[in-house]
């Protein structure tokens, strides 16, 4: 991965965090995909985040010298896809991310960044593979059953 792509992916990740998106994962697909080198996947809780992401991420990429190849404004199905040639961003609402399960397609691909940063070994299942979005959501839901007084 080029330094420009690494810097851009970090900037996009930080902007996704600022927009309070969750489950942000950056995959290094160079040499695996003939179409792109980096794939960013994030979850937006609502459609307003998709609109905010479309505007701010495209502006950040433009300032870094990357042109949006698919300047569509249609994310009505809960999936925003942004193609910057060497870097592709997918932001989905939770239901779409669970349904399409892009993370399972990427299960054997190197993650550049993983938020939260822990592996499936932390769940004591013995699997060295990174957690999928469904596993992260299940873990989060299991932690949400406790209130702070019980912890």
Q: What is the CATH number of the domain that holds 19?
A: 3.30.460.10
Which structure tokens are listed for 68?
């949006």
The total domain count for the chain is 1
- Range(s) of the domain holding residue 107: 3-144
Place of tokens 């985040």: 49
Categorize the per-residue pLDDT at 12 as very low, low, confident or very high, splitting at 50, 70 and 90: very high
Q: Is the full-model pTM beyond 0.85?
A: no
The pLDDT, as a whole number, for residue 108 is 76
Let me know if residue 7 belongs to a domain: yes
The residue ranges of DSSP E strands in 31-93, in sequence order, are 38-43, 79-83, 87-92
Of 99, 5, 86, 19, nearest to 54 (Cα)?
19
Whether the predicted pLDDT of 87 surpasses 70: yes
The pLDDT, as a whole number, for residue 16 is 95
Let me know if residue 149 belongs to a domain: no
Let me know if residue 150 belongs to a domain: no
Higher pLDDT, 144 or 35: 35
Higher pLDDT, 52 or 134: 52
What is the percent of the chain with per-residue pLDDT over 70, rounded to a whole number?
A: 74
Let me know if residue 151 belongs to a domain: no
Q: Assign 46 to helix, strand or coil.
A: coil
Dump pLDDT digits (tens) for 114-125. 434 343 344 445
Whether the predicted pLDDT of 128 surpasses 60: no
The residue ranges of DSSP E strands in the chain, in sequence order, are 22-28, 38-43, 79-83, 87-92, 111-114
The pLDDT of 47-72, averaged and rounded, is 90
Whether the predicted pLDDT of 135 surpasses 70: no
The pLDDT of 116-135, averaged and rounded, is 49
The pLDDT, as a whole number, for residue 123 is 46
């Amino acid at each position: 991965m080029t330094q420009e792509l690494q810097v851009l992916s970090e900037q996009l990740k930080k902007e996704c965090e600022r927009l309070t998106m969750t489950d942000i994962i950056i995959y290094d697909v160079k040499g695996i995909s003939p179409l792109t080198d980096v794939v960013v996947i994030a979850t937006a809780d609502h459609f307003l985040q998709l609109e905010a992401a479309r505007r701010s991420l495209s502006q950040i990429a433009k300032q870094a010298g990357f042109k949006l190849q698919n300047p569509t404004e249609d994310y009505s199905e809960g999936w925003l896809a942004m193609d910057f040639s060497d870097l592709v961003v997918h932001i989905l609402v939770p239901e779409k991310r669970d349904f399409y399960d892009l993370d399972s397609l990427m299960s054997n691909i190197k993650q550049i960044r993983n938020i939260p940063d822990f592996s499936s070994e932390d769940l004591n299942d013995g699997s060295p593979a990174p957690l999928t979005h469904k596993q992260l959501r299940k873990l989060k839901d299991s932690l949400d059953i406790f209130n702070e007084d019980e912890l």
